Amino acid sequence: MDARRTLPSVERVIQELDGLPHEILAACAREAVAAARAQAERGDPVDPDDVIGDAKQRAAAIGAALLRPVLNATGVLIHTNLGRAPVADDALDAARQVAAGYSNLEYRLDTGERGSRHEHAGALLAQACGAEAGLVVNNNAAAVLLALAALARGREVVVSRGELVEIGGGFRVPEIMAESGCRLVEVGTTNRTRRADYVEAIGPETALVLKVHASNYRMVGFVETTPVSELVTLGPPVIVDAGSGLLDESTPWLPRRPSWLRDEPGVRQAVEAGAALVTFSGDKLLGGPQAGILAGRADLIGSVARHPLARATRADKMTLAALQAVAFSYLSGDATGIPLWRMATGSVDDLSARAEVIAAGVPGGKVVDTEAVAGGGALPGLTIPSAGVGVDAPGPSGERLLARLREHGVVARLEDDTVVCDLRTIDPLDDTNLAEALRTACAS
């Protein structure tokens, strides 16, 4: 008998699939039937149930790749691959309310005239860090590019050789500078750059001095950098790429300054030291949505806002609404509503107590001491004491357990022969989901 005669029709296969739009399921069915036809043409018998199984697998693979929430059990607070900072409920509510209808995004309700989208979140964030004016764009990479293009195109920008860093994901300071159309003038050495090095490099062609937070790496030993307070005495405006965006070194929005923050520089301190502009991310230590924030002198913010790239990199209304709520949290001096700070400052005792409850329901589960990290290029080499649930998984069983956890949307990590779920990056409301995923993954 011709093996092709047992081929199920595409329509027949689609009937067995669900959970995705018809168009996607139809494509999976067509591909599965085509694969089976090729098999039949080689003379191999085809079982219709296998064709349906193949189509189901194709649909499942597409479903698994869709953007969806996961549980971050890695202990990395600002995990770029997992979406960086979770956004607070009040910020999400604000975004929903503004986006669900019309808003005064670029409209002045008092005069009935055209307004600017920078008058809301941008102005409030500037106030929160003591700057004259602020501007919100798509991300910090865009903020740096925009500032350089608007203020230094065709002219020179002086940077320390120790700050010509790659942040990751393709953000390399020399390349961003080249894209902006300014000329990079390197000064000093990798490990030491003094004020005198800058003085020597500054001339009539100098538009700016740029200081870049080294973010994801740390130099120790025979090291010397020139602080913003000295750079501002050189003459040209100083732009600081602060990266992670710790709004204020003294963290007035927390009851206590966490010791693990150590010497992480604050945006407010850079402004106070005389920086003309400071740029930082919205979704790192600020704890908001993806955005790039420029804060500083009103005249420079004005020049930047008028540049064509500002139009190409502008933030959307949902981001601006969410950031307005984030700015309110900081201005009210209470960051308990910001998930990042709530997670970052929770006590180890509380985490251990939660871990005990979860571990009790997981075969082989135990409470383990762990070390969480800020991530996102902030505070390299510094760890935050933490606790989690560990499951012994020697040899290849460790990777297998991690893979099964991922099937349940849990991203954990392997430490020696133990699969570790760090609770610092898990919302307590997700503890039962995590426990359930661990139970199922360990049982299979």
Ligand X SMILES: *Cc1c(COP(=O)(O)O)cnc(C)c1O
Cβ count within 10 A of residue 428? 13
Q: Contact with ligand X (CB under 6 A): which of 72, 140, 193, 251? A: 140
Q: Which segment (138-146, 231-239, 364-372, 403-411) binds ligand X by CB under 6 A?
A: 138-146
Cβ-based nearer residue to ligand X, 340 or 412:
340
- Site membership for ligand X, residue 156 (CB under 6 A): no
Min dist. Cβ of residue 244 to ligand X (A):
6
| Rounded-to-integer distance, Cα 411 and Cα 422, Å | 10
Shortest distance, CB of residue 139 to ligand X, whole angstroms? 3
- Total residues found in the chain within this entry: 444
243 binds ligand X (CB under 6 A): yes
How many chain residues bind ligand X (CB under 6 A)?
14
> Which stretch, 134-142, 298-306, 418-426, 428-436, contacts ligand X (CB under 6 A)?
134-142
How far apart, in whole angstroms, are the C-alpha atoms of residue 21 and residue 28? 11
Minimum distance from CB of 270 to ligand X (Å)?
12
Q: In whole angstroms, what is the distance from residue 81 CA to residue 406 CA? A: 14
Q: Give the binding range for ligand X (CB under 6 A) out of 44-52, 92-100, 136-144, 358-366.
A: 136-144
CA 92, 96, 97: angle at the middle one, nearest 5?
120
For residues 80 and 352, which CB has a smaller minimum distance to ligand X in the complex? 80
Among the listed residues 226, 244, 329, 370, the single contact to ligand X using CB under 6 A = 244
Which residue, 226 or 244, has its beta carbon nearer to ligand X? Answer: 244
Instruction: Give me the residue whose beta carbon is nearest to ligand X.
Output: 243
Minimum CB distance to ligand X, residue 210 (Å)? 11
- The helix (run of H) or strand (run of E) holding residue 110 is none
Between 361 and 381, name the residue whose CB sits nearer to ligand X: 381
281, 319, 324, 329: which one binds ligand X (CB under 6 A): 281
**Alpha-helix runs per DSSP H in 280-377:** 298-306, 308-312, 317-331, 339-345, 348-360
Regarding 330 and contact with ligand X (CB under 6 A), the answer is no
Q: Which of 323, 372, 321, 319 is nearest to 344 (CA)?
A: 372
Q: Report d(CA 179, CA 159) in Å as an integer.
A: 16
Q: Which residues pair with 211 in a beta bridge?
A: 240
- Count Cβ atoms below 10 Å from residue 248 Cβ, excluding itself: 18
Closest separation between CB of residue 323 and ligand X, Å?
Answer: 13
Question: In this complex, which beta carbon is closest to ligand X, that of residue 315 or of residue 343?
Answer: 315
Tell me if 319 contacts ligand X by CB under 6 A: no
What is the Cβ-side half-sphere exposure of residue 325, based on CA atoms within 13 angstroms? 24
| 3 state SS of 2 | coil
Residues 32-61 touching ligand X, rule: CB under 6 A, are none
H or E element that contains 362: none
The pairing of beta strand 133-137 with beta strand 292-296: antiparallel
Under rule CB under 6 A, residue 171 binds ligand X? yes
- Coil, strand or helix: which one is 180? helix
Q: Which residues pair with 186 in a beta bridge?
A: 159
Nearer to ligand X (CB atom), residue 36 or residue 315: 315
Beta strands 133-137 and 166-168 are unpaired
241 is a contact residue toward ligand X (CB under 6 A): yes
How many other C-beta atoms are found inside a 10 Å radius of the C-beta of residue 204? 6
Q: Does 314 interact with ligand X (rule: CB under 6 A)?
A: no
Quote the least distance from Cβ 302 to ligand X, whole Å: 23
Closer to ligand X by CB, 215 or 370: give it: 215
Q: Binding ligand X by CB under 6 A: which of 25, 141, 275, 294?
A: 141
Contact positions with ligand X (CB under 6 A) in 180-239: 212-213, 215
As given in the structure block, the two tokens for residue 121 are 């979140």
> What token pair was written down for 265?
């520089």
Task: Choose, by CB under 6 A, the member of 265, 266, 289, 292 that binds ligand X.
Answer: 292
Among 31, 37, 34, 30, which residue's Cα sits nearest to residue 10?
30
Alpha-carbon distances of 111 from 44, 104, 134, 253, 378, rounded to whole Å: 77, 12, 22, 35, 43
Near ligand X in 359-378, by CB under 6 A: 377
Cβ nearer to ligand X, comparing 25 with 145: 145
Binding site residues, ligand X, CB under 6 A: 139-141, 167, 171, 212-213, 215, 241, 243-244, 281, 292, 377
